[in-house]
Amino acid sequence: MDLSFQAALAGSYKSSLQRIRILSEDWVHRQVYCPSCGHIDMGRYGNNRPVADFFCHHCDEDYELKSQSKTFGAKMVDGAYRTMMDRLKGSSNPNLLLLHYDPRGLSVQNLLVIPKYFFVPEIIEERKPLSPFARRAGWVGCNISLQGIPQAGRIFLIRDRIIEPKDEVLARWQKTLFLRDQRDVRAKGWLLGVMRCIENIKKSTFTIEELYQFENELKMIYPSNRHIREKIRQKLQILRDKGYLHFLGKGTYRLVPTNVR
C-alpha cells in the first residue's frame, strides 16, 4: 500500500479543502480494500451522493470519508443533527473512514474505520442553533463523540504510518459483527456502554465487581434508569452468548482474543 497522495491531481483547484478532497478520495479508491470483506475494488459514488463516498462491489457496504491534517480527537464535527438522528433509525448510515494525513508530505498518517453499527444516539451531540444573523439561521448541527465509541469499534488499517495486517483488520471487523443484529438502538447503546467500561478496566480478565465501579458513569448517561447493575449483568450475558467474553465462573470474565483468519 502506497501512502502518498498523487499531488498532481489537485493542481487546478484553488481551495485547500477541494484539493484534499480530490487527493484523499483518489487515494482511497486506489489503495484501500473493503475492511468488511477484504475486496480490493472499492467503487466511488458521484459527487451528488448525499451521504456515502465509496461502496464495496462485493459486500455492498457503504463508506463515508472524513479527512483532516490533525489527529482525530474526542469529538468530530458532523452535519445536521436531525439528519444524523434519522440516519441512525434507518439503514442508510454508512461506515466511517477517518483519514489523518501529513499536509506537508501529502501522505497518509493514520486510517481507521468505525463500523456503522457503533453509531448510537448517545454519542451524537446536538450543537447550538446558528444565530439569527447567520446565512443558515437556526440550523442545528451535531458533533460525534468519538470517545464514546469503544476501542473495538475503531479499527485501524494504518496506524502511525504502519500498515496493519489485512487478516487482523478483517478479524477485528468480524469480532463485533453481532452488533449489526441489535435492532433496538437504545439496547445497543447500553451494550456499547458496557463494552466501553470493560475496556476502561484495562485488563483482559476482570470481575463483575470491577465493572460495577462504572455504575455512576452509566447513571449519567441513563439518569432515569434505577437498575444499572441489572443492566450490566444483562449485557454481560449477551456479550458472553455472542462470543465476545468468556465466563470463567464466580463473577469473573475474560475478553475473547481476536481470531485472525
CA geometry: angle at 167 spanning 161 and 170, to 5°? 95
Are residues 188 and 139 both part of a single domain?
no
pLDDT in tens, 130-165: 999 888 899 999 999 999 999 999 999 999 999 999
- CA distances (Å), 119 to each of 59, 169, 178, in order? 20, 19, 14
- What's the average model confidence in pLDDT over 76-81? 92
Last residue of a domain, one of 177, 212, 233: 177
Integer Cα distance of 65 and 77 in angstroms? 13
Are residues 167 and 187 both part of a single domain?
no
Say how many Å lie between the first and final Cα of the chain, rounded: 20
Are residues 17 and 129 both part of a single domain?
yes
The pLDDT, as a whole number, for residue 120 is: 93
Nearest to 77 by CA among 126, 43, 44, 38: 126
Last residue of a domain, one of 177, 205, 230: 177
Are residues 194 and 151 both part of a single domain?
no
SS3 content of the chain, % helix, strand, coil (to 5): 40, 25, 40
Percentage with pLDDT > 70 across the chain: 98
Are residues 72 and 136 both part of a single domain?
yes
The pLDDT, as a whole number, for residue 90 is: 73
Are residues 173 and 194 both part of a single domain?
no
- DSSP H or E stretch at residue 253: strand 252-255
Range(s) of the domain holding residue 151: 1-177
Are residues 110 and 235 both part of a single domain?
no
Percentage with pLDDT > 90 across the chain: 80
Cell of 29: 479508491
Predicted confidence (pLDDT) at residue 261 exceeds the cutoff of 60 = no
Are residues 5 and 131 both part of a single domain?
yes
- DSSP H or E stretch at residue 79: strand 75-80
Are residues 213 and 104 both part of a single domain?
no
Angle formed by the axes of helices 185-201 and 228-241, nearest 10° = 90
| Residues 65 and 24: beta-carbon distance below 8 Å | yes
CATH of the domain at 29: 3.40.210.30
Are residues 188 and 110 both part of a single domain?
no
Are residues 124 and 158 both part of a single domain?
yes
Q: Given CA atoms 33, 37, 39, 42 in this order, what sign does their dihedral have?
A: negative
Total number of domains constituting the chain: 2
Are residues 212 and 147 both part of a single domain?
no
Predicted confidence (pLDDT) at residue 59 exceeds the cutoff of 60 = yes
Last residue of a domain, one of 144, 161, 177: 177
CATH of the domain at 232: 1.10.10.10
Quote the pTM value.
Answer: 0.92
Cell of 144: 460525534
Phi, psi of 98 (to 5 degrees): -110, 115
pLDDT in tens, 202-257: 999 999 999 999 999 999 999 999 999 999 999 999 999 999 999 999 999 999 99
Predicted confidence (pLDDT) at residue 259 exceeds the cutoff of 80 = no
The pLDDT, as a whole number, for residue 50 is: 66
The pLDDT, as a whole number, for residue 10 is: 77
The owner of cell 439569527 is: 132
Mean pLDDT of the chain: 93
Predicted confidence (pLDDT) at residue 95 exceeds the cutoff of 70 = yes
pLDDT in tens, 15-46: 888 899 999 999 999 999 999 999 998 999 98
